[in-house]
Amino acid sequence: MTPGAAAAQGQPGDDAHAVTAQALDEVVAATDLRHLDEVRARYLGRGDGLLTVLKRRVGGMTDPAARAQLGKTLNELSTRVEEALAERQAALSAAVESQRRQSEVVDLTRPAPPLRRGYLHPTTRCARDIRRIFAHLGYTAVGGPEVEYDRYNFTLVNMPPGHPSRDTQATFYIDDVRLLRTHTSPVQIRSMVALGVPLKVIVPGKAYRRDYDATHFPMFHQVEGLCVDRDITVADLKGTLEFFARSMFGPERAIRLRPHHFRFTEPSLEVDVSCMVCGGDGCRTCKGSGWIEILGSGMVHPDVLRNGGVDPDRFTGFAFGMGIERIAQLAYGIEDGRLLYENDLRFIRQM
C-alpha cells in the first residue's frame, strides 16, 4: 500500500511518519531542480499534497487533545520536509552553477586572436597629406573654434550684417552672436591677431552648413591657407598652389587660374588642375574639359588685413581654401562622396 492510499484510508496519525519518510527519500533522490519541484508538489502541494491532505483530515477529528497533538506532529513533519527541500535545492543550484562556470572557463594561456590593423579614414589621410605638403613650404597648421562668433565668421572677412553673400552659406545659428562656423576663414583673422605678420598658416578643420544632398553635407572639412608678408604677389600664390597640385595629384599636373569673386580676396581666382584621369584630353571626371576645379583663392582684401591688425600698405598676402573631401575624392579616385560618411569598413580597408 502506498503512503498516499494509507493516508486516505487509515487514521491520520498512522501514516504521517511513513509519508514523511517517503518524502525525505524522494527529496534526496531528486537529481535536478525540476524533479525536486515535482516532489514538493506531491507532498506539500496546496490542494492535494499528501501531507496537506493529512493536515486537513486532522481538522475533522473529534477529540480536541488528540487533534492538537497530531496537528503539532504534522507541522513538525512538514517543516522537516520543507527544510530537506531547501537544502537539496541549494545543492542542486550550486551544481548547476559550477557546471556553468566549468563550461565557460577562460584559458589565460591561449594565444590572443590576431588584432585587426586599423586604417586612417581617407578624409584624415588627405588632411595629413595636405599638411605635410604645406609644411615643406614652411606653413604651420593652426586651429580655431568651431562655435564661432558671427563677427569672425562673416563681418571681419568682409561679409557685413545684411550683406547678400551671407545667404549663400546656410548657417546654423547658436544665438544672435554665435554660430557653427561656415568656413575656416575666421581663423585667418584669429591667426593674424594672435601671431602677427609675417605669417604662413594652414587651417585644416570642420565647417558646417545647412546643406544635405548627394554632394553637400551639413559637416565637412576645409583647409584654409594664409600667407602674409612684404611684397607677396599673385606669382607667389600661383607658385605655391602649383607646388601643392603637383605634390597632391602628380608631377605632370598643370594648373590654371580663372578670375572669380570672393568677398575676402581681391583679385579672386579659382584654381583648376589638369585632369588626373585623362591628362587633359577630356573625360567623364572633367566633364570633357580637361580641367577640374580644386580650390578658391586670391590676394587678401586690404580690409581683411586691417581687420586682422595688419597694415595693407606695408604687407600683402594671399589666401586659399579647399574642401578636403573633394581633394580626397580626386586624389584617391572616390566617385561617390557619400562613401566618406557612411562608415563602411569595407570601403575604408579598400582605400
Site of interaction with Zn ion (CB under 5 A): 275, 277-278, 283, 285-286
Cβ of residue 290: shortest distance to Zn ion, in angstroms?
6
Q: CA-CA distance, 88 to 94, in Å (whole number)?
A: 10
Say which DSSP state 112 is in: P
Closer by beta carbon to Zn ion, 32 or else 281: 281
Phi, psi (rounded to 5 degrees) for 230: -75, 140
Tell me the HSE value of 288 on the side-chain side, using a 13 A CA sphere. Answer: 0
Which residue is nearest to Zn ion, using beta carbons?
275
- Residue 19: C-alpha distances to residues 7, 41, 141 (Å): 8, 14, 90
Extract the C-alpha cell encoding 96.
548547476
To Zn ion, the closest distance from the beta carbon of 254 in angstroms equals 13
3-state helix, strand, coil in the chain (%, to 5): 45, 20, 35
Grid look-up 486532522 returns 58
> Residue 262, exposed/middle/buried by CB under 10 A (0-12, 13-18, 19+)?
buried
Query: Which one, 17 or 284, has the nearer CB to Zn ion?
Result: 284
Q: What is the nearest approach in angstroms of Zn ion to the Cβ of residue 247? A: 20
Q: Which is nearer to Zn ion, 72 or 287 (CB)?
A: 287
